[in-house]
């Protein structure tokens, strides 16, 4: 499960690699309001967890392992805490079960995306320029990631966003929240927390609360920023395989 503004395409390569190395099916999902999934006004972790639970049940998946990055990480945690009997273990990538504000870059991205939408552009290079100058994103890799959401209107050259920008703007506060309490919900099965050492989303002070929600958790640090899987795919794959390999 991908993060905000992402899609199932983000993790295509790592999904194929894990399917091969672990000899197991891997399902990459588009969460609601992303990729090819439907657009709906409600966008929060309880609704996304309900979507994922429906997917698990409708595909008759037995004891799946949930893997999620960022927004997808909190969604994975939400499913595990709501339906612990449904899930065998979880892998949480660079997020923690706490209420914490999103990086200040996300509201800037939204503003730039709104400007791009209103400008009725026909060239992706023009959209990239707005993201860099108006949105303040100097990283080409991050801009290219955001621009994967651009598509063309049917029968027109005008570029539009694949994601509902206004809905996601309204949901930014929800994305920083976490609607569970460790005295009420707990997942007492294996959990791997992978964090980027140069990211701020899983500071050391969150470790005690992680342990209250997920008493059997392990922590793995990878030298990267927030985009752990795309920045260090081999290190991430090794961490997952180690976690999945039974102890002698």
Domain of residue 40, CATH code: 3.40.50.1820
Half-sphere exposure of 117 (CA within 13 A, CB side): 14
- Of 106, 137, 142, 153, which is closest to residue 227 (Cα–Cα)? 142
The catalytically annotated residue of 11, 34, 69, 226 is 226
Residue 80, pLDDT score: 98
pTM value? 0.94
Residues 88 and 195 in one domain: yes
Distance CA 15, CA 148 (A): 19
Residues 182 and 94 in one domain: yes
Q: Do the domain assignments include residue 2?
A: no
Q: H-helix or E-strand containing 91?
A: strand 89-93
Helix 140-147 / helix 124-133 crossing angle, nearest 10 deg? 130
Residues 76 and 183 in one domain: yes
Residue 106, pLDDT score: 86
For the stretch 158-186, pLDDT in tens is 999 999 999 999 999 899 999 999 999 99
pLDDT score of 155 more than 80: no
Residue 156, pLDDT score: 83
Task: Report the pLDDT averaged over residues 119-123.
Answer: 92
How many other β-carbons are positioned within 10 Å of the β-carbon of residue 144? Answer: 12
Task: Report the pLDDT averaged over residues 111-139.
Answer: 92
Residue 75, pLDDT score: 98
Residues 91 and 200 in one domain: yes
Residues 190 and 79 in one domain: yes
Residue 103, pLDDT score: 66
List the beta strands (DSSP E) in 124-226.
150-152, 159-161, 191-196, 217-222
Distance CA 237, CA 93 (A): 12
Answer yes or no: are the C-beta atoms of 192 and 214 closer than 8 Å.
Answer: no
Is 224 noted as a catalytic residue in this protein?
A: no
* Domain end position, chosen among 170, 189, 221: 170
Q: Do the domain assignments include residue 37?
A: yes
Q: How many domains does the chain have?
A: 2
Q: Do the domain assignments include residue 143?
A: yes
For the stretch 49-98, pLDDT in tens is 999 999 999 999 999 999 999 999 999 999 999 999 999 999 999 999 99
For the stretch 5-43, pLDDT in tens is 999 999 999 999 999 999 999 999 999 999 999 999 999
Residues 78 and 190 in one domain: yes
DSSP, res 103:
P
The catalytically annotated residue of 7, 47, 70, 199 is 70
Lowest mean pLDDT among 11-15, 97-101, 148-152: 97-101
Percent of the chain with pLDDT over 90: 86
Domain with 46 in it:
8-100+177-244
Answer yes or no: are the C-beta atoms of 32 and 4 closer than 8 Å.
Answer: no
Which residues, at least 6 apart from 164, have a Cβ–Cβ distance to it below 8 Å? 33, 39
Is 70 noted as a catalytic residue in this protein?
A: yes
Residues 28 and 150 in one domain: no
Task: Report the pLDDT averaged over residues 209-219.
Answer: 98
Tell me which of 65 and 106 has the higher pLDDT. 65
- Of 102, 98, 91, which is closest to residue 182 (Cα–Cα)? 98
Distance CA 77, CA 90 (A): 7
Residues 166 and 181 in one domain: no
Residue 68, pLDDT score: 98
Residues 45 and 141 in one domain: no
Residues 69 and 184 in one domain: yes
């Amino acid at each position: 499960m991908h993060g905000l503004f992402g899609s199932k395409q983000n993790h295509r390569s790592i999904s194929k690699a894990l399917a091969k190395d672990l000899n197991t099916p891997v399902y990459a999902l588009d969460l609601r309001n992303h990729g090819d999934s439907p657009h709906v006004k409600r966008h929060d972790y309880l609704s996304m967890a309900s979507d994922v639970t429906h997917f698990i049940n409708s595909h008759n998946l037995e004891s799946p392992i949930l893997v999620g990055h960022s927004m997808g990480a909190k969604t994975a945690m939400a499913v595990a805490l709501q339906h612990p009997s449904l899930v065998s273990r979880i892998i949480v990538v660079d997020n923690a079960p706490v209420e914490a504000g999103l990086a200040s870059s996300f509201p800037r991205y939204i503003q730039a995306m709104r400007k791009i939408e209103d400008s009725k552009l026909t060239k992706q290079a023009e959209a990239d320029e707005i993201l860099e100058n108006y949105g303040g994103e100097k990283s080409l890799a991050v801009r290219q990631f955001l621009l994967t959401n651009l598509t063309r209107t049917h029968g027109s050259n005008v570029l539009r966003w694949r994601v509902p920008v206004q809905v996601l703007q309204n949901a930014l506060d929800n994305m920083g929240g976490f609607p569970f309490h460790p005295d009420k919900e707990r997942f007492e099965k294996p959990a791997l927390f992978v964090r980027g050492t140069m990211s701020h989303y899983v500071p050391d002070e969150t470790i005690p609360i992680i342990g209250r929600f997920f008493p059997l958790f392990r922590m793995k640090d990878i030298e990267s920023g927030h985009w752990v899987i795309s920045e260090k795919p081999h290190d991430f794959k090794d961490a997952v395989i180690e976690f999945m390999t039974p102890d002698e």
